[in-house]
Chains A and B, each alone.
Chain A
């Protein structure tokens, strides 16, 4: 964690402002919402504590909530994925195993591991956000389409951002 603290702070500021100022204004195909700030939460090292991760998730998501005018919805989804993240990471172990103090990004463990790790978490996040926001299962197929398309778009942006701006493996 300490090794990457500067990098994490910079990526927090940049990704949050990107999310709030730029990506909030884009809706792809009328159903795809990119949540690029999830990259910050997903890139936490494997040995960062439960509580730290959840509190960071809460803080980021509440900032996003304030701008999306959906107070609490993104927050609950982010806290949930930060809670299941360590358990999920134990299931999808990369071939070489985890290294302590290493960011969980493509640069550290490779693209195939990252996709398997990030895609279900992002999908869980989108499902919670859209189902809580809709408030009912009345438009089940519409909501699930929203969640699916948004997760794919979020994943694409999250992967490309890493290829463009994140440090390569050492």
Chain B
């Protein structure tokens, strides 16, 4: 195990390489360009392929092709670049391709800004492209998790033959922290059972396309929904900090969860019983964490870098309205630890308001 000081984006790229990624295609966009830059020399070192596509659309489809040939393949983007990839990702889902995409989120609608955002939660978690799907969405909140999640993402995708999205953000991507690199995984693309390899004349060739083209649609639907239910049941992950006796529980992922963790500590120093549920998978959303909550909880508070409190919907679904659900939404601004503690106080003294924005 090697320990190094890396930027989050570099850690994500290195984690993917160590997890067996030997094909990367992407297109530059801030704040994820370090992934592309890192892959441009690192793939060369490990005998993989790096392509800067002519666009996001080209890159996402190159990854489709590489995955169809059995390779562990990654693309990455942010903001409008991630939007451009949605059509391609929907095709991955339909073809049952275990490809991986990383989105280093930036704030804003359309072009937006280059700082961190969590305003593409709905896009990332609820589908993004057309059709009936969720991606398996992992939400790292440290440089180490960027590395670890990229490392395991291919095996997770292959377990379900379903794409994985690593939803990082501009802060986690740009910050420097120490991280420990796991050993290089051995992976042979020619042994991938789904890989296209060419077929002798006279034998039926394998086709990877929208699976609904060459399979009975009802049969396909049945297997697909079974798979999605299995993921929902099996893959929920979360971290809890000081939850069992908490009166107010923050719910936050990515960079917001780091601020919320600071607020839990500061609140506890002042005698307030605060806790944090940090979803590690955003889909499946960790509903099980909410089923275990004590009845004494006076409020759940999502902390989100958006305006509409997008994750609050999932918190309400998971908690079945057992207690009020609030959102601290700070749009493009990073909340201050003090601000979150003040909000928790307002929940405790009854002055906080549940606001609907949709």
Same complex origin of A and B: no
A residues contacting B by CB (< 8 A) are none
